[in-house]
Amino acid sequence: MYRPSRQGSRIGAGRPWAAACRLPEGSPLLRTTPRRLAPVALLPLLVLSSCGGSEPPAEGAATTASADGHPVTVTGDDGELTLDQRPESIVSMSASATEMLFAIGAGGQVEAVDSTSDFPAEAPTTDLSAFTPNAEAIAARSPDLVVLSDDLNGIVGALDALQVPTLLLGAADTLDESYAQIETLGEATGHAEQAADVVAGIQDRIAAAVDSVPDSVQGMRVYHEIDPSFYSATSDTFIGGVYALFGLENIADGAADPAGGYPQLSAEYVVGRAPDLVVLADTVCCGENAATLAARPGFDTVPAVQQGRVLAVDDAVASRWGPRVADFAESLAAELRS
């Protein structure tokens, strides 16, 4: 289905202007050529030439269209998306993507964000739900790009049916995947250079944090708690990869059922593995802290509790795969140095 250039188009979308000019089948203008599409500013010239001609657009038009890299083709989990113009009315249905967009300087292009996108403070938070997304409610915001982290309730297909362009960027499993998403958003929004700078800054901060801790932390056992029912994260997850950079041994890696990287452990298992460091990522949701941890049956024998190595972190910082992962790494380093 054809989508106007402001909304973007999937590779292979129809081109009604070609039919109106009776272009022959197989014309180069009809072929699908990802990442080499004709700039939108030249499109009227190409069409008019095929139809018999008219005056070309002003000389500066092509320069304006290409100044921010558009048209551009980016790839998300839902395939390739071509954006003919820089999006100026973005709706973000992903808290991590919201943080990325503002970090790369695209915040001014964001029209609305979902109810969980509470950072940065200037993000235009709405009652749009990322957990029960409604295509009509999103479309009512007149977005020229919707960024999502999940295809819940078939939202991508529903938005496609409404000719609303979507970019699906699912939860990152590694730091490299997070960096790639930041760069993809940079390309999509016309902030490629800023995105590259953000990635480099995150990498530098994490590297400095790792270098700041003593060699004696190597092999320390860490327990990362997502909630008080002992859900944790293995080294195969985004946050688990940060612990690996510091050389820590993640006790969740030994779980009988890894459950896609997020196993549910037990109190007995955690106590038995005797972690040297406990990271509580359930401080906001559940009010957990060093005192509530120590009050659990048997936890007074855990080395981390006995030595006071309990790091309480903001749930969002520890769960989102955005730029604040550098904040998490620095907090972790500070705890390991103490």
What are the pLDDT digits (tens) for 285-329?
999 999 999 999 999 999 999 999 999 999 999 999 999 999 999
Cα–Cα distance between 56 and 49 in angstroms, integer? 9
- Cα dihedral 261, 262, 264, 265 in deg (nearest 10): 60
**Pairwise CA distance, residues 304 & 122, whole Å:** 38
Closest by CA to 183, choosing from 69, 93, 78, 95, is 69
- Token pair for residue 54? 């008219």
pLDDT at 24: 30
Contact in structure between 164 and 109 (CB atoms under 8 Å): no
Task: Write out the two tokens for 22.
Answer: 């009776």
Yes or no: say if 284 and 314 are a contact pair by the CB < 8 Å rule.
Answer: yes
Segment 252-280 shows an average pLDDT of 96
- 7 with 144: CB under 8 angstroms? yes
Sign, CA dihedral 47-49-50-51, equals positive
Read off the pLDDT of each residue in 176-194 and give the average, rounded to a whole number. 98
Q: What are phi and psi of 53, to 5 degrees?
A: 100, 155
Which residues, in sequence order, are bridge partners of residue 74? Answer: 81
Percent of the chain topping pLDDT 70: 80
> 66 falls in which pLDDT band (50, 70, 90)?
low
Check whether 28 has a pLDDT greater than 80. Answer: no
Greatest alpha-carbon span in the chain: 85
Q: What is the pLDDT of residue 65?
A: 52
3-class DSSP state for residue 148?
A: strand
* Average pLDDT of the segment spanning 91-105: 98
Question: According to the model, what pLDDT value does residue 63 have?
Answer: 40
Residue 252 has pLDDT above 90, yes or no: yes
* This model's pTM is above 0.85: no
CA 332 to CA 293: how far, in whole Å?
18
Residue-wise pLDDT for 29-48, tens only, equals 222 333 333 333 333 333 33
Min mean pLDDT across 3-17, 79-93, 324-338 is at 3-17
Stronger pLDDT, 307 or 257, i.e. the higher one: 307
Instruction: Give yes or no for residue 184 having a pLDDT over 60.
Output: yes
Cβ atoms of 323 and 198 within 8 Å: the answer is yes
Rounded Cα–Cα distance for residues 186 and 209 (Å): 26
Residue 322 φ then ψ, to 5°:
-110, -160
Please tell me which residue, 169 or 258, carries the higher pLDDT value: 169
Could you tell me whether strands 110-113 and 145-148 are parallel, antiparallel, or unpaired per DSSP bridges? unpaired
What the chain holds in terms of domains, given with CATH numbers, is 9-66 (no CATH), 90-199 (3.40.50.1980), 213-337 (3.40.50.1980)
Nearest-CA neighbor of 189 among 225, 158, 144, 234? Answer: 144
Per-residue pLDDT at 67 exceeds 80: no
Question: What are the residues whose beta carbons fall under 8 Å from the beta carbon of 157, sequence distance 6 or more?
Answer: 151
